[in-house]
């Protein structure tokens, strides 16, 4: 029985979904890629694909936001078995954080070791330009400060410890690797590093809120990723986050432009191909490195 305010998913729920998927596919993914708004194309580079609609997977939430296809795609990137989430879940859709992060624990139980998360965010750092790709160096869990935290409730030791450290949530090695990959692909000019802040949404920021976030040290702001990263880190996955800067957040009352979701999706479309190349090369490099280190 679940009590108010605790996780709505039991270990048996996670196990049932994992076993269902393992029975439906012979893929055994080592890498999971969560594709944010408009970035489902990241799965296109995979070979030997097998796709499931979220609505057909037991206990899986469904996507309700344009730009989130709502499909789980298994496939190979060179020799690495991967699983791609084409669309993820948000607090603003009305999902609990337990539902938002449900797939992460499924990945863990399936044998995934590395999770790459992509998303769209608004640039706060004045140096950032629209179309920049920000390697997430660290994050601020703003809803977490107010008790909206995916690890609230009884701790399940089968996944991780009660008080996990988050000081190294975003793998330093992987961040370095993205910089190398950026040089190789000739796109270092628009690869940045910074701090991502999660807000619940669904509205974009007021100018006063944006100014507050800037004072707090946020380089970009979005409505996702932090719950997934927190749960992934709790259960021992390596994590890398990439955020596409789709708009500049208004910090000035005299600025007339207003951000909208269509514009966000437009920029994602423009950068999806290069992001796909980065993700593909990164996964290949990780595979080579693990071969070299074993
Ligand atoms: O789902 P992500 O975080 O990639 O997308 C951001 C946040 C909202 O879902 C959407 C607003 O345009 O973009
Ligand atoms: N909160 C928030 N999320 C975004 N996602 C894409 N752009 C933005 C933005 O400016 N603010």
- Where in the chain are the domains? 11-293
Positions in the chain short of pLDDT 50: 1-3, 293-294
Nearest-CA residue for ligand 1 atom 6 is 120
- Percent of the chain at pLDDT above 90? 85
Say if ligand 2 is within 6 A of residue 246 CB.
yes
For residues 215-234, b (16+ Cβ closer than 10 Å) or e, as one string? eeebbbbbbbbbbbbbbbbb
Ligand 1 atom closest to Cα of residue 261? 12
pLDDT at 89: 95
Q: Which CATH number does 11-293 carry? A: 3.40.50.1580
How far apart CA 101 and CA 172 sit, in angstroms, is: 23
pLDDT at 67: 81
pLDDT at 294: 44
| Structure confidence at residue 166 (pLDDT) | 96
Q: How far apart are CA 84 and CA 48, in angstroms?
A: 13
pLDDT number for residue 193: 97
What is the pLDDT at residue 17? 97
What pLDDT score does 291 carry? 52
Tens-place pLDDT, residues 17-31: 999 999 999 999 999
pLDDT digits (tens, 9 = 90+) for 18-68: 999 999 999 999 999 999 887 888 898 899 999 999 999 999 999 898 887
Ligand 2 atom 2 nearest Cα: 222
Is 67:50 a contact under the CB 8 Å cutoff? no
For residue 264, the ligand 2 atom closest to its alpha carbon is 6
pLDDT of residue 69: 87
Tell me: ipTM over 0.95: yes
């Amino acid at each position: 029985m679940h009590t108010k305010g605790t996780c709505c998913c039991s270990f048996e729920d996670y196990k049932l979904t994992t076993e269902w998927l393992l029975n439906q596919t012979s893929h055994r993914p080592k890498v999971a890629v969560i594709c944010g708004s408009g970035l489902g194309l990241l799965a296109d580079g995979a070979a030997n694909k097998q796709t499931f609609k979220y609505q057909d997977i037991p206990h899986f939430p469904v996507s309700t936001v344009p730009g989130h296809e709502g499909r789980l795609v298994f496939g190979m990137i060179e020799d690495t078995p991967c699983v791609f989430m084409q669309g993820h879940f948000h607090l603003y859709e009305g999902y609990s954080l337990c539902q938002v992060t449900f797939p992460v624990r499924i990945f863990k139980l399936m044998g995934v070791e590395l999770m790459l998360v992509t998303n769209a965010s608004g640039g706060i750092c004045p140096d950032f330009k629209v179309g920049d790709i920000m390697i997430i160096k660290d994050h601020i869990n703003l809803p977490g400060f107010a008790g909206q935290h995916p690890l609230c409730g009884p701790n399940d030791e089968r996944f991780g410890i009660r008080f996990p450290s988050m000081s190294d949530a975003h793998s330093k090695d992987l961040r370095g690797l993205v910089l190398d990959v950026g040089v190789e692909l000739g796109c270092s000019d628009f690869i940045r590093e910074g701090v991502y802040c999660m807000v619940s949404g669904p509205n974009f920021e007021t100018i006063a809120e944006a100014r507050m976030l800037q004072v707090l040290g946020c380089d970009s702001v979005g409505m996702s990723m932090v719950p997934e990263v927190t749960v992934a880190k709790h259960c021992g996955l390596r994590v890398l986050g990439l955020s596409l800067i789709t708009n500049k957040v208004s910090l000035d009352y005299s600025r007339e432009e207003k951000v909208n979701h269509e514009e966000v999706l437009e920029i994602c479309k423009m950068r999806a191909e290069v992001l796909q190349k980065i993700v593909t090369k990164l996964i290949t490099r990780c595979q080579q490195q693990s071969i070299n280190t074993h």
